[in-house]
Structure 1
Amino acid sequence: MRQKILLIMNIITPYNIPVYNYLALKLENFEIYFLAKIESNRQWRICEKINFKYKILRGLNFYILKKDWGIHINPGLFFKLIKLNPDIVVIGGYDAPSYWLALLYCKIFRKKIVLWSGSTLLSSQYKYGLIGFGKKIFIKSADSYLSYGTKAKEYLEYFGAKPDFIINGYNTVDIKYFQKCVQLKRHANYIMLFVGHLAQHKGIKEALQALKLLKNSPIFIIIGDGPKKENLKNYCQKHKLDKVHFKGYIQKHEIINYYSKADFLIMPSLREVWGLVINEALASGLFILASKYAGATYDLIKSGENGFIIDPYNIQDIKDKIIKVMKLRLDKEKISQSINKFSPENYGENLIKAIKLVL
């Protein structure tokens, strides 16, 4: 494919680097513009080898904690696009002013647009009014689409995207890394794991409320940092949840140790676009308690085989599912294999399919 293809994304994310490397291998003329290097709610270090051409643009970057929203304004983007003159522009969202600037460029200069989108009706906070109208305009302006998964596809259709031009991509991580590095172990005590940002919408307090109801609760390891960390610690002290351990933020190469020790992962998010921690945990052989409000749940979880779906607003349901998991004979090897088809290579191929739809 000789066409000049530009991908515009918000920040460099370590879990997407294998996908980008694959695209650079398969696409002859491929480049990425990142609107910022990182957002203030992220603590990761980029350790993965980068084999693709990219630029980090200058601009103004803000993060609204209450809304979990990164805002990027890159005034120079329009002129960079004119200079680069790409044939196809893949835009990784619509929630930043710079994405709208890219859309304007594409419409003025008649460039084909592929929208790479993960939002779902379950995770979206704004479906109506002025913001909903803006989403509809942006989504209908694209020529083809790559969705994170089934629920993201439904979302695109809801806002006017034509189904025939949507490719389901299935968001993912480098599953081979976790399968290779994790040592599948079994311990005498059940260990439940949470990995993520310690914010209200992640549903950690709801998980703790469920543990409070259990006579024989599992060890609960919480990995991550965030604005609710001290509140959650105080809750554990108040209710004498002495099996709960806060480990703080841990980098990817160190988190493997915890995936090796744990039996199952809980992701009780009250809203979640996808939930890549599910991909990581499945690749590591962990059974999953996955929120019904996460996009990944509907594509990755096979109830009873590699996980259960939970309603995080229903504390009794969380409690019952924890008890249910602790009665299972978990086959970590089988669980790890259940994620095989959701590889970075397949994800990259699906973006290439979306690009070919506009040729």
Structure 2
Amino acid sequence: MSTIILLWENFGPMHDDRVRALVRACGGKARIVGLELFGKSDTYAWDNEAGDDFEKITLFPGQSHSLSRTLKIAAVIVRHCRALNADQVFLCHYELPAILLAACMLRLLGMKVYAMGDAKFDAYKRHLWREVGKSFFFLPYVGALSNEVRSKDYLRFLGIKAGRIAAPYNTISIDRLRRLSGTVPAPNGAAFADRHFTIVARFVREKNLEMALEAYAIYCRAADAPRQLHLCGSGELEPLLRQKVEELGLRDLVEFRGFLQSDGIAQALGTTLALILPSVQETFGFVVIEAQAMGLPVLVSENCGSRDTLVRTGVNGFVIEPDNPNGLAFFMSLLGRDEALWQRMCVSASSFAEKGDVDRFAEAVMTLVADF
């Protein structure tokens, strides 16, 4: 029996979703194993599930990432892949020296190695010499899992052949989210008049939340009865954002809900009018799929990778410029008062959500491994 291994630094709910989907897709014809390097994440405070319904191994339990252990991390990855008799190994975090070293060693041992990632060329300012050097990191890989359009183009630029790139990579379980929400997708469920705007993001500069608050203040000044704005997340900028709310006179309209696990996010989106994601730097934006799973229009910046295949302006949301608070405020006002438009967009959003479902990820993996 063939053994397929998928490795991430730390498993969150979306990683569990993807492994489970691949197990279902294989139907017992291949052994699927999830490897996580560390038992906790330095970036996200998500709950780490036991993974009882699929094979999951934590290489360094109770620890988080450390660059000082490059050789040890690579050696442990290779040792486990050999012990599991892996044929195909999918590795995330290609930029880490430990992953590069492990990928090279696995190839030398005869295993097929694939990269997984959502990077795109316009994520931030690029420098030619760094990009040339980065292409070296992809030499061990026979293929890759990525996202459509910009992410695929970037991988081709770095040397992966177009025919060896499958998509989508960033996916979650639509069914799980809807069950966790405790309600039904919009436009059903909560009444139009009772819904609020929601932002789900880490409180860091890249998410552009100060601009979002400025846009919300513009919207509030123009609205007779402005809807609330819920901020779901945490991070280093929380004191600054709270101060900004006070300065803009929005204390009674903005609710800070803290970091939410999957069930909390699903429930928050279940009473939301539209999701806002105004990032200046966003490789993808998982929350767009979560919002669409709950039938919500999205207001996203053009920088978000998810807009390539999931967002169509005027159909299931609007794409904005990240430096244009007036534009964001305009679309908030439009959705906030036009129920017929909102309902049409809700129906479309639900149909687009299927593009980000984990079954699509499983199909992409099977496409790659079937070529060998």
Give TM-score, length-normalised by structure 2. Answer: 0.86
**How far apart are the structure 1 equivalents of 2:210 and 2:267?**
24
Q: What is the CA-CA distance between 1:285 and the residue it aligns to? A: 1.4
Higher helix share: 2
1:91 and 2:101 correspond: no
2:291 aligned to 265, 281, 289, which one?
A: 281
1:56 aligned to 51, 55, 58, which one?
A: 58
Partner of 1:30: 32
The 8 Å contact of residues 10 and 72 in structure 1, kept in 2 or not, is answered as: no
Partner of 1:68: none
The 8 Å contact of residues 170 and 299 in structure 1, kept in 2 or not, is answered as: no
1:248-301 deviation line (CA, Å, top 9, x unaligned)? 112222333321211001011111121110000111111100121111111101
Q: What is the CA-CA distance between 1:140 and the residue it aligns to? A: 4.0
Partner of 1:226: 235
Between 1:186-195 and 1:279-288, the stretch displaced more is 186-195
Amino acid at match of 1:284: M
The 8 Å contact of residues 106 and 113 in structure 2, kept in 1 or not, is answered as: yes
**How far apart are the structure 2 equivalents of 1:122 and 1:128?**
13
Amino acid at match of 1:4: T
The 8 Å contact of residues 36 and 72 in structure 1, kept in 2 or not, is answered as: no
SS at match of 1:55: strand
**How far apart are the structure 1 equivalents of 2:49 and 2:59?**
21
**How far apart are the structure 2 equivalents of 1:323 and 1:47?**
40
The 8 Å contact of residues 206 and 279 in structure 2, kept in 1 or not, is answered as: yes
**How far apart are the structure 2 equivalents of 1:208 and 1:277?**
19
Partner of 2:9: 10
**How far apart are the structure 2 equivalents of 1:22 and 1:308?**
30
1:182 and 2:163 correspond: no
Partner of 1:318: 328
**How far apart are the structure 1 equivalents of 2:255 and 2:71?**
36
Give TM-score, length-normalised by structure 1. Answer: 0.89
Between 1:54-63 and 1:345-354, the stretch displaced more is 54-63
**How far apart are the structure 1 equivalents of 2:84 and 2:244?**
54
Q: What is the CA-CA distance between 1:334 and the residue it aligns to? A: 4.4
SS at match of 1:185: coil
1:210 and 2:215 correspond: yes
SS at match of 1:33: strand
Q: 1:1-359 counterparts in 2 under 5 A?
A: 2-25=1-24, 26=26, 27-46=29-48, 50-58=52-60, 61-62=64-65, 74=73, 75-124=75-124, 126-130=126-130, 132-180=131-179, 181-183=182-184, 184-188=189-193, 191-214=196-219, 215=221, 216=223, 217-242=226-251, 243-328=253-338, 329=340, 330-331=342-343, 332-357=346-371, 359=372
Between 1:302-311 and 1:36-45, the stretch displaced more is 36-45
1:298-339 deviation line (CA, Å, top 9, x unaligned)? 110121121111111222222222223224321234432331
Q: C-alpha root-mean-square deviation of aligned residues, in Å?
A: 2.4
Amino acid at match of 2:177: F
Of all paired residues, the percent bearing the same amino acid is 21
Between 1:317-326 and 1:13-22, the stretch displaced more is 317-326
The 8 Å contact of residues 40 and 48 in structure 2, kept in 1 or not, is answered as: no
SS at match of 2:156: helix
The 8 Å contact of residues 229 and 255 in structure 2, kept in 1 or not, is answered as: yes
**How far apart are the structure 1 equivalents of 2:15 and 2:143?**
20
**How far apart are the structure 1 equivalents of 2:262 and 2:243?**
27
Partner of 1:67: none
**How far apart are the structure 1 equivalents of 2:15 and 2:125?**
25
Amino acid at match of 2:45: Q
Gaps of 5+ in 2: none
**How far apart are the structure 2 equivalents of 1:89 and 1:126?**
29
**How far apart are the structure 2 equivalents of 1:210 and 1:100?**
43
SS at match of 2:279: coil
The 8 Å contact of residues 35 and 72 in structure 1, kept in 2 or not, is answered as: no
SS at match of 1:349: helix
Q: What is the CA-CA distance between 1:82 and the residue it aligns to? A: 4.0
Amino acid at match of 2:31: N
94 and 125 in structure 1: CA distance in 2 versus 1, 3 angstrom threshold: farther
Give the number of equivalent residue pairs: 350
The 8 Å contact of residues 118 and 169 in structure 2, kept in 1 or not, is answered as: no
126 and 98 in structure 1: CA distance in 2 versus 1, 3 angstrom threshold: farther
Amino acid at match of 2:104: L
Between 1:182-191 and 1:309-318, the stretch displaced more is 182-191
